[in-house]
Amino acid sequence: MAQFQAVKGARDIFPDEVVRWHHVEGVIRSVAALYGFSEIRTPVFEYTELFQRGIGSTTDIVGKEMFSFLPDPNGRSITLRPEMTAGVMRACLQKNLLSLAPVHKLYYISDLFRKERPQAGRQRQFSQFGAELLGVSSPAAVAEVLTFMMQVFETLGLHGLRLRINSLGDVEDRARYREALREYFLPYAADLDESSKERLEKNPLRILDSKNPALKEMIAGAPRLYAYLKPEAVADFEKVLSFLSDRAIAYDIDHLLVRGLDYYCHAAFEVTSSELGAQDAIGGGGRYDSLAKELGGTADLPAVGFAVGMERLMIAMEKQGLFATLNPHGPLVYVVVQQQELSDHGMQVAFRLRKAGLKVEIDLAARSMKAQMREANRIGSSYALFIGQTEHESGLYSLKNLVTSEQTSLSLDAVIEILSTPG
Ligand code: HAM
């Protein structure tokens, strides 16, 4: 075994798999362009308070999953970002972006870090693609981000997804609901598990998120948040639902959906995949109108967004065979040097072809001609171009089509012309 292993919960992605990432990233970028979202990149670390304030100090993420450290003995604590929303909002407030235009549509494909117990679909370093729409969070804006997300899934060919959606109302609605939940759960306090007992104190909404089967029945009988929403919030939510129906996006209303981050209000949603085991959440998001103020902005800034776990997305795609037809193109031409004395000339030819824009591979280890041919086939080259003494002297090279075995003798200019022509 190698002396060093990757850190627990982190993994290497080798070229075979990178091909899949490129494919998925390409689809994300092209759909983002259709919807007018532009890419944002923010630093991998931020001051720890940003996440404490933004995500909420009673959440699991801030409570126990952040990689935080002091850059120097007198410095402020910094944290490897566990999610993107807080950092994107920080960046936009810092640049005062909203003074330049009233609405900003941003997307990202970024690496994140959470100190969770690693298992299938759960890593300590993972990647998300997501979008944040700042400046408006109308039902149309919620529908816009949801439709963008669903179009990415559809373009990738992924099926078997379930979209669950709920309305969390505004701050006052949730405060009243929190009290109602506290009153409901208090008589059962002795039956609650440790983490739910703690949640009862700090944030009873999070009890609804509990995966403990022993609490299932108790949770099912809890009051519904929907009953505590103001009429405007209900109307707003119904409009979101009607937009989804108009776009033929299937959804289930889930009154127990609360999400694991504190910044949400009104519409919040999650997408699960039947292909994933215990970690079946492929993405989630919602509105977060008060995050800007929480981070020191002068006013509430309406906003809505989502994020999708890239690894989980790829696991689900793999299970559905969606990478089977992905054909990583090998080099077009393998330059085969017949005698080692001609290897410099071979390199020169390879260089010329590459300058002309052709994908070319050549042996760098002075291997036999047989070994070169084996390698050309192994990596899926379409052609072999032979460099021998006669070719060197005459300037005419044998080009072999490795699929049909047809062979022709051509000048380098003719080779370039033929191979540059598509098809
Ligand atoms: P989240 O639900 O915490 O939301 O994460 C979104 C997705 O990231 C999850 O559904 C899951 O697919 C993936 N994910 C989370 N943790 C891990 C992990 N340890 N390993 C692998 N994948 C993971 C957010 O992060 C919000 N910022 C989403 C958002 C954007 N809300 C508004 N805008």
Whether pLDDT at 423 is above 70:
no
Span 210-258, pLDDT tens digits: 888 888 889 999 999 999 999 999 999 999 999 999 999 999 999 999 8
If you average pLDDT over residues 2-18, what whole number do you get? Answer: 95
pLDDT band at 189 (very low <50, low <70, confident <90, very high): confident
Which atom belonging to ligand 1 lies closest to the Cα atom of 124?
A: 19
Span 56-85, pLDDT tens digits: 988 899 999 999 999 888 889 999 999 999
In whole angstroms, give the CA distance from residue 270 to residue 286: 9
The gap from C-alpha 368 to its chain's centroid, in whole angstroms, comes to 44
Q: How many residues does the chain have?
A: 423
Q: Compute the distance from residue 286 Cα to the ligand 1 centre, in Å.
A: 12
Shortest CA distance to 193 belongs to which of 167, 177, 214?
Answer: 214
E-only strand ranges, 76-116: 78-80, 104-113
Residue identifier of the C-alpha nearest atom 25 of ligand 1: 83
Cβ proximity of 134 and 97 under 8 Å? yes
Q: Which CATH class is domain 333-420?
A: alpha beta
Residue identifier of the C-alpha nearest atom 20 of ligand 1: 122
Handedness of CA 189, 194, 197, 199 (dihedral sign): negative
Residue identifier of the C-alpha nearest atom 15 of ligand 1: 309
For residue 126 and ligand 1, the question of a CB distance below 6 A is answered with yes
Shortest CA distance to 334 belongs to which of 349, 313, 315, 312?
Answer: 349
Whether pLDDT at 327 is above 80:
no
For residue 284 and ligand 1, the question of a CB distance below 6 A is answered with yes
Q: Please provide the average confidence, as pLDDT, over all residues in the chain.
A: 94
Residue to mutate (ligand 1; options 312, 313, 315, 317; most atoms within 8 A of CB): 312
Alpha-helix residue ranges (DSSP H) falling in 36-138: 48-55, 60-64, 85-94
What integer pLDDT is reported at residue 198 of this predicted model?
A: 86
In whole angstroms, give the CA distance from residue 272 to residue 220: 20
Q: What SS3 class is residue 107?
A: strand
If you average pLDDT over residues 298-302, what whole number do you get? Answer: 88
Span 101-128, pLDDT tens digits: 999 999 999 999 999 999 999 999 999 9
Whether pLDDT at 325 is above 90:
no
Q: Which CATH class is domain 15-170+230-319?
A: alpha beta
What integer pLDDT is reported at residue 197 of this predicted model?
A: 87
Residue identifier of the C-alpha nearest atom 22 of ligand 1: 309
CA angle 134, 139, 144 (to 5 degrees): 60
In whole angstroms, give the CA distance from residue 287 to residue 333: 52
Q: What SS3 class is residue 383?
A: strand
In whole angstroms, give the CA distance from residue 7 to residue 121: 16
Span 128-150, pLDDT tens digits: 999 999 999 999 999 999 999 99
CA angle 378, 382, 387 (to 5 degrees): 90
In whole angstroms, give the CA distance from residue 89 to residue 96: 10
Span 342-372, pLDDT tens digits: 999 999 999 999 999 999 999 999 999 999 9
**Looking at residue 84, what DSSP letter applies?**
S
Q: Compute the distance from residue 261 Cα to the ligand 1 centre, in Å.
A: 10
The domains of the chain are located at: 15-170+230-319, 333-420
If you average pLDDT over residues 183-187, what whole number do you get? Answer: 93
